[in-house]
């Protein structure tokens, strides 16, 4: 197991290097950074001193080296806020992780429940309702759903605050978590229904029924554990989508999460923060997919990770 | 030598792949309805000048933020005298007709959705074909690259690409989305190539001395279209959502030209008092994306009977 984990992390290294390169390329393509940092009409000596301060007067491979080593030892600083990038990212990640975890818990719990009920009674009203809900759910822009929920619960009913964030006050997280949760729930409900329906046609389920097991017991006891494998994969691969949704949801709900920090950094051309944020997202992505692969082994003993 | 009958089915009728696709599609009423909606939106986009009652930047003085289904005495710059005007979906804070702006906005959504998908298709096809066909280190490099792009949160990558230019425009938006969204297509193409390249007709044509590139383009590519068409259709919906997201962040088509995401961004400050500004453009996004997705699902069911819902 340890060697499997190690090998997967080594395989992820090219991905991190690739992200570093893509971010650096976009940095070089986006023009003179001193134009935004010092203003359009700043005199040349001011620009020079800024370039010198951030090592921008050195050849490109040295600059790339500064980015890479600064990321590794945590000394890379923001161009704008005079703070270490790591600090800013961890601050934002604390908010975004709360948001993403809450959304995943809601999505998995209700998504699996909807999938189970639809597979238990195919072509019933609950199946059709769940199918319609998931089709609409994957077609809704996250930011619009957040707007509608705000309109209903904050403006009309007055139950929840309109946007913003205060640490320790969960009521600010309700609308963003519900938004992301509902959207991911749609995917999970649809997928788990299809996987369960397929599992129900398998021989082992027929055997279980022949032994005298009721339909519901066969579904939960025999089909469900087997249908979980693809569902777990989707949760892993859609994490990137969830993070993307988080960018838009955080912007709509003015939540100071990582997505909004990176978005702001992009519009301010604060490249160290963009780089750090993207690497952090990629790290989470690789880590979650590693967990998914380990979970596979636990859910399906046929899949073994050999040398 | 006469041409052999192609895949005939019941009744001895010879049916080409398109006829078979149509036969299966026409039984799926939901997918047909979705296709109808797609056509309807395309008509809105192409015939915007005819469908929209007013221009997208006409301002009607005296008619600021009117509720839907209202009539108001307003004056357009250049008018001799104020006139009674009807606003089906109300007006925005700049006294522009929401319905007309939504109709013109369909152009942006459809254009970006289709063009971005074409860009993704081109990249995904090249990467997938090369990766699947040549294997080895080419495959390893291309797939690591695909993983890298896939691991980026797509909106952020698109935002970063649009940020490299001073002023976002339609071209930048569809290029950015196209450059971000090809990974799924590349993977599907690659897996198709891997299956097809071991089949007898490919082995036979190699045995006959066909060169690698010829086999790839003339033998393998024409046979991997089915699943590729499906992912491509489903990608259109995703790109329309992506365009809406970028426009919402202010990185899309610029004012005064309307886009649905941009209209929602404008509405952010005001939808608390004027709900119609926040509701209708979003509804159009959902209807359009839903139509493309349901049509794509229908295509998948028709092309791959294994996926058919029981």
pLDDT exceeds 70 at position B310: no
B153 and B66 assigned to the same domain: no
- Å from B85 to nearest chain A CA? 28
Residue B150 contacts A, CB cutoff 8 Å: yes
In this complex, which of B153, B164, B285 lies closest to A141 when CB atoms are compared? B285
CB contact (8 A) between residue A274 and residue B160: yes
CB contact (8 A) between residue B286 and residue A141: yes
Domain positions in chain A are 31-73, 86-299
Chain A residue numbers touching B294 (CB-CB < 8 A)? 135
Confidence label for B283 from pLDDT (cuts 50, 70 and 90): very high
CB contact (8 A) between residue A263 and residue B278: no
CB contact (8 A) between residue A240 and residue B279: no
Q: How many CA atoms are closer than 13 Å to the CA of A85, on its beta-carbon side?
A: 26
Per-position b or e across A184-202, b if 16+ CB within 10 A of its CB: bbbbbbbbbbbbbbbbbee
B109 and B242 assigned to the same domain: yes
B190 and B247 assigned to the same domain: yes
B112 and B76 assigned to the same domain: no
Q: What is the ipTM score, two decimals?
A: 0.82
Domain count, chain B: 2
B225 and B236 assigned to the same domain: yes
Please check whether residue B188 lies inside any domain of the structure: yes
Chain A residue numbers touching B161 (CB-CB < 8 A)? 26
Confidence label for A159 from pLDDT (cuts 50, 70 and 90): confident
Closest residue on chain A to B291 (Cα): A139
- Å from B264 to nearest chain A CA? 8
B210 and B236 assigned to the same domain: yes
- Å from A151 to nearest chain B CA? 6
Per-residue pLDDT, B12: 52
B281 and B141 assigned to the same domain: yes
pLDDT exceeds 60 at position B3: no
**Domain extent at residue B30:** 17-58+104-307
Residue B65 contacts A, CB cutoff 8 Å: no
Confidence label for B306 from pLDDT (cuts 50, 70 and 90): low
Closest residue on chain A to B250 (Cα): A267
Cα distance between residue A224 and residue A193, in whole Å:
10
Residue B15 contacts A, CB cutoff 8 Å: no
Chain A residue numbers touching B149 (CB-CB < 8 A)? 22
B49 and B186 assigned to the same domain: yes
Please check whether residue B256 lies inside any domain of the structure: yes
Q: Which of B95, B122, B152 lies at the terminal end of a domain, its last residue?
A: B95
Cα distance between residue B139 and residue B267, in whole Å:
47
Please check whether residue B7 lies inside any domain of the structure: no
Confidence label for B1 from pLDDT (cuts 50, 70 and 90): very low
CB contact (8 A) between residue A244 and residue B154: yes
Residue B241 contacts A, CB cutoff 8 Å: yes
How large a percentage of chain B has pLDDT more than 70?
Answer: 93
B66 and B159 assigned to the same domain: no
Contacts of residue A73, Cβ cutoff 8 Å, sequence gap at least 6: none
Chain A residue numbers touching B249 (CB-CB < 8 A)? 248, 251, 263
Cα distance between residue B132 and residue B197, in whole Å:
9
Residue B34 contacts A, CB cutoff 8 Å: no
pLDDT exceeds 80 at position B116: yes
List the CATH number of the domain containing B256: 1.10.3720.10
Residue B156 contacts A, CB cutoff 8 Å: yes
B148 and B238 assigned to the same domain: yes
Indicate the fold that domain A86-299 takes in CATH: MetI-like fold (1.10.3720)
Give me the phi and psi of B65, to 5 degrees please: 50, 50
Count of A–B CB contacts within 8 Å?
132
Q: Render pLDDT for B215-235 as a digit per residue (tens, 0 to 9).
A: 888 888 888 888 888 889 889
Please name the helix (run of DSSP H) or strand (run of DSSP E) that holds residue B137, with its range, or none.
helix B136-151
Query: Quick one: average pLDDT of A3-10?
Result: 80
Q: Render pLDDT for B59-115 as a digit per residue (tens, 0 to 9).
A: 888 878 888 888 888 888 877 777 778 888 888 888 888 999 999 999 999 999 999
What SS3 string covers chain A?
CHHHHHHHHHHHHHHHHHHHHHHHHHHHHCCCCHHHHHCCCCCHHHHHHHHHHCCCCCCHHHHHHHHHHHHHHCCCECCCCCCEHHHHHHHHHHHHHHHHHHHHHHHHHHHHHHHHHHHHCCCCHHHHHHHHHHHHHCCCCHHHHHHHHHHHHHHHCCCCCCCCCCCCCHHHCHHHHHHHHHHHHHHHHHHHHHHHHHHHCCHHHHHHHHCCCCHHHHHHHHHHHHHHHHHHHHHHHCHHHHHHHHHHHHHHCCCCCHHHHHHHHHHHCCHHHHHHHHHHHHHHHHHHHHHHHHHHHHHCCCCCCCC
Q: Render pLDDT for A231-272 as a digit per residue (tens, 0 to 9).
A: 887 777 776 667 767 888 888 888 888 888 888 888 787 888
| Longest CA span, chain B | 82
The token pair at A216 is 């519901």
B180 and B163 assigned to the same domain: yes
- Å from B20 to nearest chain A CA? 25
Residue B244 contacts A, CB cutoff 8 Å: yes
Please check whether residue B65 lies inside any domain of the structure: yes
Residue B184 contacts A, CB cutoff 8 Å: no
Closest alpha carbon to A23 in A288, A250, A286, A273: A273
């Amino acid at each position: 197991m340890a060697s499997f984990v190690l090998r997967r992390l080594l395989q992820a290294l090219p991905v991190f290097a690739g992200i570093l390169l893509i971010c650096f390329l976009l940095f070089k393509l986006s023009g003179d950074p001193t134009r935004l940092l010092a203003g359009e009409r700043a005199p040349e000596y001011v620009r020079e001193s800024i370039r010198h301060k951030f090592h921008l007067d050195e050849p490109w491979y040295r600059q790339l080296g500064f980015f890479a080593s600064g990321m590794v030892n945590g000394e890379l600083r923001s161009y704008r806020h005079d703070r270490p990038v790591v600090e800013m990212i961890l601050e934002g990640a604390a908010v975004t992780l709360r948001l993403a975890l809450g959304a995943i818990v809601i999505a998995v719990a209700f998504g699996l429940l909807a999938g189970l009920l639809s597979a238990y009674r195919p072509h019933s009203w609950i199946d059709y309702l769940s199918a319609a809900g998931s089709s609409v759910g994957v077609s809704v822009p996250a930011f619009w759903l957040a707007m509608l929920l705000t309109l209903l619960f904050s403006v009309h009913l007055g139950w929840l605050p309109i946007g913003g964030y205060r640490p320790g006050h969960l009521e600010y997280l309700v609308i963003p978590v519900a938004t992301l949760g509902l959207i991911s729930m749609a995917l999970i409900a649809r997928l788990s229904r299809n996987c369960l329906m397929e599992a129900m046609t398998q021989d082992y389920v027929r055997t279980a029924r022949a032994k005298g097991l009721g339909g519901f017991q066969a579904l939960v006891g025999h089909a469900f554990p087997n249908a979980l494998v693809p569902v777990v994969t989707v949760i892993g691969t859609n994490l990137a989508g969830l993070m993307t949704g988080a960018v838009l949801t955080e912007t709509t709900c003015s939540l100071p999460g990582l997505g909004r920090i990176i978005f702001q950094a992009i519009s301010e051309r604060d490249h160290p923060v963009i780089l750090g944020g993207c690497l952090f997202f990629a790290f989470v992505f690789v880590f979650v997919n590693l967990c998914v692969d380990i979970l596979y082994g636990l859910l399906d003993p046929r899949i073994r990770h050999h040398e | 030598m006469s041409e052999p009958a192609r895949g005939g089915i019941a009744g001895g009728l010879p049916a080409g792949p398109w006829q078979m696709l149509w036969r299966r599609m026409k039984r799926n009423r939901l997918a047909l309805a979705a296709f109808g909606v797609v056509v309807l939106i395309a008509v809105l986009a192409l015939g915007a000048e005819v469908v929209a009652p007013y221009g997208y930047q006409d301002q009607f003085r005296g008619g600021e933020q009117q509720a839907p289904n209202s009539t108001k005495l307003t004056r357009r710059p250049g008018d001799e005298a104020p006139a009674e005007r009807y606003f089906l979906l109300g007006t925005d804070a700049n006294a522009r007709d929401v319905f007309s702006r939504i109709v013109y906005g369909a152009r942006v959504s459809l254009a970006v959705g289709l063009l971005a998908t074409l860009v993704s298709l081109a990249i995904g096809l090249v990467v997938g074909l090369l990766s699947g066909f040549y294997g080895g280190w080419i495959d390893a490099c291309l797939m690591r690259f695909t993983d890298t792009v896939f691991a980026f949160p797509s909106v952020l990558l698109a935002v970063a690409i649009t940020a490299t230019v001073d002023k976002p425009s339609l071209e930048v938006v569809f290029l950015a989305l196209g450059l971000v969204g090809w990974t799924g297509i590349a993977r599907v193409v690659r897996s198709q190539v891997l299956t097809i390249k071991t089949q007898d007709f490919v082995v036979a044509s190699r045995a006959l001395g066909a060169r690698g590139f010829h086999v790839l383009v003339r033998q393998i590519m024409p046979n991997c279209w089915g699943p590729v068409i499906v992912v491509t259709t489903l990608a259109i919906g995703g790109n329309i959502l992506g365009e809406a997201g970028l426009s919402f962040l202010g990185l899309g088509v610029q004012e005064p030209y309307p886009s649905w995401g941009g209209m929602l961004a404008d509405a952010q400050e005001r939808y608390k008092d004027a709900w119609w500004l926040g509701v209708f453009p979003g509804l159009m996004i959902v209807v359009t994306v839903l139509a493309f997705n349901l049509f794509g699902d229908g295509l998948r069911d028709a092309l791959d009977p294994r996926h058919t819902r029981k």
